[in-house]
Amino acid sequence: MTDPTTTDPTTTGPAATLQTLDTPDGPFTVLEDADGHVLASGWTDDSARLLARLAERHRPGRLTDGRVRSADAVEAFYAGEVEAAMRVPVRQHGTELFAEGWRQLRAIPAGTVLTYTELAAAMGRPEAVRAAASVCARNAPALFVPCHRVLRSDGTLGGFAWGLDVKRSLLERESVGVTALV
C-alpha cells in the first residue's frame, strides 16, 4: 500500500487534507480539498478505503494530514447540534440525476427519514427507486450528505457503507426512533 501522504508522480490532481477524528461511532476521517469542500468522509481510519469512495479521476494527487475545516461541524454534530454538518460545503461528481439525489439528501431534516421510493419521488423520478439507492451507495461525503436518513420501504435500515450499527447510531442521535428496526 502506498503512503497516502506522499505525492504520486503519476497523479496530477490537486492536493487535499485528511483528518481522523475520534467519535462515539469510531474513527471518522474527512478528506477536504484546498477550498474546504468535503470530498469524502466516513467511519474509518483507513485513508485508502476513503479514497476508494471517489472515482479515480476525482482523487486528489497529494494528501496531507492536518486539520480540516469541517472538524468543528463533526464535533458539533456529536455534541448534539446535528444540523451543523449540513452547513459544510461538499464537492461531488456525478450525473444530473445523482446531483439532484445528493441535493435531496441534504434537504432531509434531522429527525426524519425517507424511503428509497420517497427519495426517488423527491428527485423527480418516482420510478427510479434503484437509482435512488445508487445515489446513497455512491455518496462519498457521508454525514455531510446524510444518506443514512434513507430507509427501505418496510422501515428497515437497508445498507450503509459504514455499517448498520453506525447508521442506527446516527439515526438515534438525530432522534429518529429506530430501536425496533433490524
Grouping H, G, I as helix, E, B as strand and the rest as coil, residue 43 is: coil
Active-site residue 147, yes or no? yes
* Residues constituting the chain: 182
Grouping H, G, I as helix, E, B as strand and the rest as coil, residue 62 is: strand
State the SS3 of 107-172: HCCCCCCEEHHHHHHHCCCCCCHHHHHHHHHCCCECCCCCHHHEECCCCCCCCCCCCHHHHHHHHH
Cell numbers found for residue 93: 461528481
Check 54, 122, 147, 161 and give the catalytic one: 147
Q: How many CA atoms lie within 13 A of 89 on its CB side?
A: 9
**Which residues, 6+ apart, have CB-to-CB distance to 90 below 8 Å?**
37, 38, 39, 102, 141, 144, 145
Cβ neighbours of 171 (radius 10 Å): 22
Active site residues: 147
